[in-house]
Amino acid sequence: MEKKYVAEPYKIKVVEPIAVTSRAQREEVIKKAGYNTFLINSSDVYIDLLTDSGTTAMSDNQWAGIMMGDEAYAGSKNFMKLQEAVREVYGFKYIVPTHQGRGAENILSQITIKEGDYIPGNMYFTTTRAHQEMNGGTFVDVIIDEAHDSANENPFKGNIDLKKFENLIDEVGADKIPYICVAVTVNLAGGQPVSMKNLKEVSKLAKENGIMVMYDATRCVENAYFIKEREEGYQDKSIAEILKEMMSYADGCTMSGKKDCLVNIGGFLAINDEKLYQKATQLVVVYEGMPSYGGMSGRDMEAMARGIYESVDYNYIHHRITQCRYLGDKLSDAGIPIVKPVGGHAVFLDAKQFYPHIPQDEFPAQMLAAQLYLKSGVRSMERGIISAGRDKDGNNYHPKLELVRLTIPRRVYTYAHMDVVADSIIDLYKERDKVKGLKMVYEPPVLRFFTARFEPLK
């Protein structure tokens, strides 16, 4: 069936050629990369859906801003612009610029977490959890159960389960919980949003117990779009209004500018509490740079400030979300098992269902990502047993979700590219019985998914 789509709300001013390779070339490439798509050179990739992080196409307005960089060591005017954008669009008082999201996570974790603390959150994120653990904290997943079920169509699958949050408070005591980390949207659940109602309730419960609410705001604009689309009372509100209301229920946020701020590098920590802001500035000078540039150049801060305003334009975000959904619907209509509903930044293939004959310990998602590259030069990534890593005792985590992520960069690919991706996956699905699993032949000690190597099982 022909699918309808929302045409691009922009036109192309600059083009970047991409590699068209043969099957024989790709066979060499994947073998050399140890069947790990992270280890493929981008010059060997046709359509790169590895990540939406830092892969954004900036606008002519942002590129013009790059020329307006004020590279002063202190008090850059671009920092003032960025601060103003964060205050106006997000509503937080203080901002500490960092080189990217994890720089902000590092500072937040250090100024708030003590040995033995607990940090509840709606499903873990790799770098976020790593910083919490490195500071002596324990991450506790308090997302609703539905989030772990790839077929469940709850419209707000990223919601916090208030009962789980409350139970944790009862169990360990509120003084052991410096803050609750609420990701809007939840990356590892498939880009699933949190409802405004849930954000309000979380804020109330946290406040009653003297616990701060910190958002992982990385994809907050996508979250705002889903609220407008799905939550009663928000249809007539603008994305900017919804975003501002969301943020009003938090004490601050960490932000990876490489996603919803529409830039290629940068991030920030935003916070309302003046004392914590001062603590953060003491650390930013050690890890990043002066408080007025952190980990960014003046021109980068200018591009980010402009990106923040562009990101709340309805036409931009409407196109983005519907492009993801187009790919998801096309796959779903062909009977391909995907995570539902389709989230904000990616389509996730359910590898356990795609290759039911491959046990999780033989890495079905990793193999599916490798097969997709072999088929058409499309690069995706594993989000399953390899990404989940090992626990403190060295045992593999066995996550319920064994997924391949097809992440859509912002403003980069067209619907024709989405068709190529969908058609190659549909072909792979027809040949699925012939595919076997992998064995891991090299495993690094941390964040293994980036550099682990594999060989196909005979």
Residue 445 parent element (H or E): none
- Residue 108's CB is within 10 A of a number of other CB atoms, namely 30
Nearest 5°: the CA angle 318, 227, 190 is 75
User: Counting contacts by CB under 6 A, is residue 53 touching ligand PLP?
Assistant: yes
User: Counting contacts by CB under 6 A, is residue 132 touching ligand PLP?
Assistant: no
Active site residue 26: no
State the nearest-atom distance from the C-beta of 226 to ligand PLP, in Å: 15
- Residue 233's CB is within 10 A of a number of other CB atoms, namely 9
Out of 89, 168, 183, 284, the residue judged to bind ligand PLP by CB under 6 A: 183
Give CA–CA dist 80/102, Å, rounded: 22
Footprint on residues 258-277 left by ligand PLP (CB under 6 A): 258, 267
Footprint on residues 209-228 left by ligand PLP (CB under 6 A): 216, 218
Footprint on residues 389-448 left by ligand PLP (CB under 6 A): none
Nearest 5°: the CA angle 396, 399, 401 is 145
The piece of 80-88, 120-128, 198-206, 357-365 that touches ligand PLP (CB under 6 A) is 120-128
Out of 21, 83, 106, 127, the residue judged to bind ligand PLP by CB under 6 A: 127
Q: Give residue 24's identity as a one-letter amino acid code.
A: A
Closer of 76 and 254 to ligand PLP (Cβ): 254
State the nearest-atom distance from the C-beta of 103 to ligand PLP, in Å: 7
User: Counting contacts by CB under 6 A, is residue 256 touching ligand PLP?
Assistant: yes
Closer of 52 and 161 to ligand PLP (Cβ): 52
Give CA–CA dist 417/380, Å, rounded: 14
User: Counting contacts by CB under 6 A, is residue 129 touching ligand PLP?
Assistant: no
Active site residue 216: yes
Residue with tokens 């403003």: 411
Active site residue 79: no
State the nearest-atom distance from the C-beta of 102 to ligand PLP, in Å: 3
Closer of 55 and 76 to ligand PLP (Cβ): 55
Q: What is the DSSP letter of 180?
A: E
CB contact set of 362 (below 8 Å; sequence gap of 6+): 436, 437, 438, 439, 457
**What's the token pair of residue 277?**
């802001």
Residue with tokens 């705001």: 217
User: Counting contacts by CB under 6 A, is residue 125 touching ligand PLP?
Assistant: yes
Active site residue 230: no
The whole-angstrom distance between residue 327's C-alpha and the CA centroid of its chain comes to 18
Closer of 287 and 415 to ligand PLP (Cβ): 287
Question: For residues 249 and 213, is the Cβ–Cβ distance under 8 A?
Answer: yes
- By the criterion CB under 6 A, which residues form the site for ligand PLP? 53, 100-102, 125, 127-128, 183, 187, 216, 218, 256, 258, 267
